[in-house]
Amino acid sequence: MSNLAPTHEDRLYWPVQRQRNRSLYGLFVVVAAFVALYAYLFPGLLSVAGISKFAQSWLPLALVSMAQAILMLTGGISLAIGATVSLGAVIAATTMMGPLGVPGGIAAVAFSGLGIGALCGVIAIRLRLPAIIVTLAASFIIAGLALLILPRPGGAIPGWFSDLLAGNTPAALILLILAALLWKLYLATPLGLSLYAAGENPVGAYRAGVPVDTARIAAYALSGLLSTLAGLFIAAQTGSGDPVIGNAFTLNSIAAAVLGGVGFLGGRGTMRGAIAGSLLLSVMINVMFFLGFPPVAQYVAQGLIIIGAVALPEITRRFRRAR
Amino acid sequence: MNGTEDTRFPRWRAASLLRNRAFLTVLIVALVWIVAAFAKPGFGSYGHLRYLLELAAVIGLVAIGQTYVVIAGGIDLSVGAIVTVSAVGVPLVALSGDSSGAFAVIAILAAATGIGLLNGLGVAYLRIHPMIMTLAMATFLQGVLILIAGGTAISAQNPLLAWLGNARIIGIPAGVILWTIVSAAALAVLHATPFGARLFALGANPLASALSGVNVQRTTMAVYAVSGLTAGLAGVLVLGMNGQGYVGIGDPYLLASIAAVVLGGTSILGGSGSYAGTIPGAILLVTITALITVVNASAGWRSILFGSLILLLLLLSGRESQRR
């Protein structure tokens, strides 16, 4: 089959991708501008070591933005992302030095994320409760679990594992590329294909035989997995666990996904947008740090830039119409 | 003749009352209070219940605006920050010639309304999703607050606030009376004015309401302004009860207000609900928190209990209608 001339699908692939990129050009330009500014301020960025250091500060936010974007594509949302990140960090810090070792710890983190995500999904989807409030309640339960496992910051991660993930290696960058590739693969599976259909038009998809509920619950499970893995990485970075370390990620993940053009109603948006959104947020934070902004002014600037970036398409549209 | 009267006012049935979400929430609150009063001596005493109502008044005030916004199809994630702005702001604008303290309160309420208007401006004219607009506003305000107020607590020397936080009129705290009056006004506006009707229309179907002549942009601005105002009012009350304001004082009220709205039976998707359900929703939240504090458990277990109880209550009252 493959040695035939380009098939119909091949000819369609790139035009479709271009179409999907169209609404993201503005974001890409803003991201490129910020990256250029960052590289200008910190020339060390343009080296393997510089990029891998930057990837380490970016990876957790990129993972949680993917976690949030998966849910938003199916028309859901999670306010439990931050708590789940904390839980992942806490589990990693308490199991890895124990009899389970590093592989056992990674498995424990991954399975707890999958399980908790799937449970949230089952409650929200099967019982038909609004996702925003189910995950709000779940965030309290998950945060409580994290506090039970590790009441105060502590635990430990084996030194060699910390060095491998967060030392002078490009591991974070490789993991990020891997995550993006796995997402492409997932989209090619039946469940991945159902994802957009379930978000865009659940009724139509259901009538066409798409396993809407399964696709949505799988999205919740994957979202939990990505969140706890982000927690694992943070634990490796800091060398210990902290039961409240992930709190800021809930809102930042939503901000990144929305900056990336992922819609709240489901079916609208792309993962590359969400990742670009998370890149914008972390570059922004780094640039402000380099410019010597006090941490407080960063909040102000962050609020303004998020509003600006989201409002930009509407402003340009109005401007064009006025002319 | 009789037939038309019947369709306009369907005959009263006990079963229809049981399907009323606001009434159901009241029922759950009453049940929890009675059980708790028997299980824990002192829980049902007048003094304790009055204290719970005082706490619920703050959540209830924040939840007025949140109910309005949610019914109109949005959500306001900046209410916590606005509560903090007003709790920290009143001592900052205190003037020497202003002996009653009323001027400071009015100025801060105007500022809170202005912040709400800015939210509305972003949502209505820049078409920013409410969640992201109000979230960015909250981030922005958090930064501004720390810049202005720093990390320290600021005490208020404001007679009006001291009265609001501590006075009892025939045994009822002034804060609860304030809540009652504002609630009555909020319910009247929501259910008996064209503005209230427009909110429901906007939440149910923004396009249809725009086509039928609702000024969507102005209504959106107004609804976020109301949310800013009630959050500001709640901040003033918190300051009166606490005596001092600090950055972060309003944070707990964001999630509490959303939970109260949903527990009260208002659809998070917009278009249906009532503030009548949010009132018992707020009282229920405070009661649960009090019960969990009574149970002597670690912070982790308290958090787990709180989350599980919200989930359970949601199962009883918060089912979204099936859309398939």
Average pLDDT, chain A: 84
Average pLDDT, chain B: 82
| Cross-chain Cβ contact B307/A134 below 8 Å | no
Answer whether residue B324 shows pLDDT above 60: no
Domain boundaries, chain B: 46-317
Whole-prediction pTM value? 0.80
Average pLDDT value for residue range A118-126? 90
Q: What is the pLDDT of residues B245-297, one digit of tens each?
A: 888 788 888 888 888 888 888 887 788 888 888 888 898 888 888 888 777 77
* pLDDT (0 to 100) of residue A88: 92
* pLDDT (0 to 100) of residue A68: 92
Q: Reduce the DSSP state of residue B245 to 3 states and report it.
A: strand
Identify residue B103 by its one-letter amino acid code.
Answer: F
| Cross-chain Cβ contact A133/B314 below 8 Å | yes
| Cross-chain Cβ contact B143/A311 below 8 Å | no
As a whole-number percent, the residues of chain A with pLDDT over 70 amount to: 95
The alpha carbon of residue B140 is apart from the nearest alpha carbon of chain A, in Å, by 4
| Cross-chain Cβ contact A302/B298 below 8 Å | no
Taking residue B197's Cβ as centre, other Cβ atoms within 10 Å add up to: 14
> Which one of B77, B119, B123, B132 makes the best mutation probe of the A interface by having the most chain A beta carbons within 10 Å?
B132
| B262 interfacial to chain A (CB closer than 8 Å) | yes
| Cross-chain Cβ contact B311/A151 below 8 Å | no
Give the chain B residue nearest A311 (alpha carbons). B126
Distance CA A137, CA A117 (A): 13
Domains of chain A: 25-31+52-322 (1.10.3470)
| Interface confidence: ipTM more than 0.85 | no
Taking residue B307's Cβ as centre, other Cβ atoms within 10 Å add up to: 23
B6, exposed or middle or buried, with CB in 10 Å at 0-12, 13-18, 19+? exposed
Give the chain A residue nearest B137 (alpha carbons). A303
* pLDDT (0 to 100) of residue B243: 80
Distance CA A132, CA B137 (A): 20
Distance CA B63, CA B227 (A): 8
| Cross-chain Cβ contact B301/A123 below 8 Å | no
Residue A208: band (very low, low, confident or very high) from pLDDT cuts 50, 70, 90: confident
Answer whether residue A21 shows pLDDT above 70: yes
> Which one of B75, B135, B315 makes the best mutation probe of the A interface by having the most chain A beta carbons within 10 Å?
B135
| Cross-chain Cβ contact A144/B320 below 8 Å | no
Query: Which residues of chain B have a CB within 8 Å of the CB of A307?
Result: 122, 126, 128, 132-133, 136-137
Query: Which residues of chain A have a CB within 8 Å of the CB of B259?
Result: 133, 136
Return the higher-pLDDT residue of B309 and B236.
B236
Answer whether residue A3 shows pLDDT above 60: no
* pLDDT (0 to 100) of residue A224: 94
Main-chain dihedrals φ then ψ at residue B245, nearest 5 degrees: -115, 150
| B152 interfacial to chain A (CB closer than 8 Å) | no
The alpha carbon of residue B117 is apart from the nearest alpha carbon of chain A, in Å, by 15
Answer whether residue A87 shows pLDDT above 90: yes
| Cross-chain Cβ contact A138/B126 below 8 Å | no
* pLDDT (0 to 100) of residue A1: 43
Asked if B172 and B164 touch (Cβ cutoff 8 Å), the reply is: no
Distance CA B239, CA B251 (A): 14
| Cross-chain Cβ contact A133/B262 below 8 Å | yes
| Cross-chain Cβ contact A133/B268 below 8 Å | yes
H and E: helices and strands count for chain B: 15, 4
Query: Which residues of chain A have a CB within 8 Å of the CB of B77?
Result: 251
Place of tokens 């039928």: B212
Query: Which residues of chain A have a CB within 8 Å of the CB of B320?
Result: 128-130
The alpha carbon of residue B98 is apart from the nearest alpha carbon of chain A, in Å, by 31
Minimum mean pLDDT among A16-20, A241-245, B180-184: which range?
A16-20
| Cross-chain Cβ contact B319/A136 below 8 Å | no
| Cross-chain Cβ contact A141/B308 below 8 Å | yes
* pLDDT (0 to 100) of residue B96: 62
* pLDDT (0 to 100) of residue B289: 84
Query: Which residues of chain A have a CB within 8 Å of the CB of B130?
Result: none
| Cross-chain Cβ contact B146/A144 below 8 Å | no
| B298 interfacial to chain A (CB closer than 8 Å) | yes
Average pLDDT value for residue range A60-75? 92
Choose among B268, B299, B310: nearest Cβ to A147: B299
Average pLDDT value for residue range A234-238? 88
Residue B7: band (very low, low, confident or very high) from pLDDT cuts 50, 70, 90: low
Per DSSP, the residues of A6-58 read: --HHHHHHHHHHHHHHGGGHHHHHHHHHHHHHHHHH-GGGSSHHHHHHHHHHH
CATH topology assigned to domain B46-317: ABC transporter involved in vitamin B12 uptake, BtuC (1.10.3470)
Return the higher-pLDDT residue of A74 and B317.
A74
Give the chain B residue nearest A141 (alpha carbons). B304
Q: What is the pLDDT of residues B99-142, one digit of tens each?
A: 677 788 888 899 999 999 999 998 888 888 888 888 888 888 88
* pLDDT (0 to 100) of residue B19: 65
Distance CA A315, CA A322 (A): 11
